[in-house]
A and B are shown apart, each in its own frame.
Chain A
Amino acid sequence: MIDREQVLHVARLARLELTDDEVGRMATELSSILGHIETISALELDDVPPTSHVVEVANALREDVPQPCLPREVALANAPAVQDDGFLVPSPQATVTA
């Protein structure tokens, strides 16, 4: 039901590299799971509103008051790479090698 091409397309959307082996396995497993999920596709529910929130609450707004945020060095402390007080990443302009 879901083939290798679709798996690769979805993996690109999900920013997830998959090995060749994983692509094959994913196609089989997703097909089996989607087969089960198919049971809801036959239901006539066009007049039923989709759930947006499970508990009835009015708009939950807070006061627009500035609050202190994490100090820069604390926010950066867990980053794999840091430079000039910011997160360091490879160039977004570089040619994609994968």
Chain B
Amino acid sequence: MNDITALTAKQAADAVAKGDLDPTELFEAYRTRAAADELNAYTWVADEAGAGGSVSGTAALPLGGVPLAVKDLFCTEGVPSQAGSRILEGYCPPYTATVVDQLARAGAPLLAKTNQDEFAMGSSNENSAYGPVLNPWDHTRVPGGSSGGSAAAVAGGSAPWALGTDTGGSIRQPAALCGIVGLKPTYGTVSRYGMIAFASSLDQAGPLTRDVTDAALLYGHMTGRDPRDSTSLQHPEAITLPTATRLDGITLGVPDDLTGEGVEDGVMARFEETLELAVSLGATVRRVPLPNADYGLSAYYVIAPAEASSNLARFDGVRYGKRVPADDLVSMYTRTRHDGFGPEVKRRIMLGTYALSSGYYDAYYGKAQRVRTKIAEDFKNAFESVDFVVTPTTPTVAFELGAKTDDPLSMYLNDYFTVPMPLAGIPAISIPAGLSDDLPVGFQLAGPAFSENRILDAAYALEQAIGFAEQAPDRPWVAA
């Protein structure tokens, strides 16, 4: 078979099931590409045998041996898992994250670990201790973040699909900036066991894929209650592959209050064209109020750093990772953390510690958790009159490397459209909606908790109508 890396993951799995494709050959094709990657998308690539000889025997499994790239913050036994941080340099965990293990058992062997913003804090992948990742569409631009390595790997054609995590947009934003599909599932439907934590009430693992079908296929094998994560739960529905071609009877809600300043014209144009396509498929589009969504960013940048400041207390030079020696214990802690953490992580630890400190707790953390309740109520009310809330995924296309690194606040504003959903725990997908200035634009579709099947179906119908493949015949994973 020629050019097996041009197949989608589903196509490759089907070819394996039919006996037309040898999974070992597929693994080697991707492994060679990943090892030769020039985007700095990877922090580790498997050797020829795969991790633990996991490739052989996958042909009969549902995912057919289609190899998986995994964001570095997922613990993988005996394989470096550094979460993009110097403080975990060389750390090889003694266990594997539940979701990675689950996917390996379903037939998706570990291909590589992907670069990311340190501890998933960032929107450009420039906060990695292992260097920035380049956008495969334009090497002078960022791939987005924090799952930037996963997005660049899939879009660049060196991995068929990848795992990322989304706390405030870290799957959907890089998917949008790299022209691929990214799904942030309902909170709790994927086990967080073995995911190095950023903000535990928001973190959720999800797929980054070349199309909607692949996202459904991978997500379908990620869900499940895990006794080792007490916040995990059983998805009430089996996840099925999408088939919808029409959107009859579906209502899309465009939030009145989430228009956002600073949305680029090209991004808005693709968004509006996608709405017109939805109407041509039978959907109704109406405005919907989300009066508190505009406060999402403020609430998020209290809650996420607060939880991070607590989660990252464990990196103290005692049990794993880096240690800077000192004569007394406290100095060993403070120096280890000074040298081990990068600037953005320090900033968020400081912000979170401040928001939780005596005298400020009620004004910041308490207030933010109340705003969060209001945002969840807004979505609940919206879903009484619309099926999905839709927005552009990001205000801009991929920006240039270094463009926002000196201004943390302007970097945070890139998450404007993606933070309200994790605050409400609801699922959302980003799909490519076309190009602006030859760079991909993402269209975001959010639904009620556990509505992944409906979201995937609607996204699939839109995907067929948008015809991104025709709009971008030279997309990097085809041109590679």
Contacts and interface: CB of A to CB of B under 8 A. Distances in A.
Nearest to A27: B350
A50 B230 contact: no
Contact of B319 (A41, A48, A79): A79
B321 A80 contact: yes
Contacts of B399: none
Given A10-B357, A51-B372, A39 B295 contact: yes
B354 A60 contact: no
A77 B93 CA distance: 9
Contact of A50 (B231, B333, B372): B372
Contacts of A74: 94
Contacts, number: 185
A10 B348 CA distance: 12
B332 interface: yes
Nearest to B369: A50
Nearest to A80: B323
Interface residues of A, number: 57
Contact of A37 (B231, B233, B301, B357): B301
Query: What is the predominant secondary structure among interface residues of chain A facing chain B?
Result: loop
A37 to B, nearest CB: 5
Interface size class of B (residues with CB under 8 A): 35 or more
A48 B376 CA distance: 12
B159 interface: no
Contact of B297 (A36, A51, A98): A36
Contacts of A91: 327-329
Given A33-B301, A74-B94, 6 more contacts: A15-B330, A60-B230, A80-B320, A90-B328, A95-B327, A97-B326
Interface of B: 91-95, 186-188, 201, 227, 230-231, 233, 295, 297-299, 301-302, 309, 313, 316-323, 325-335, 337-338, 341, 346-347, 349-351, 353-354, 357, 363-364, 366-374, 376, 408-409, 412, 423-425, 449
Top 8 nearest A-B pairs (CB, nearest first) are A54-B425, A50-B369, A80-B323, A94-B328, A17-B338, A78-B320, A17-B334, A45-B370
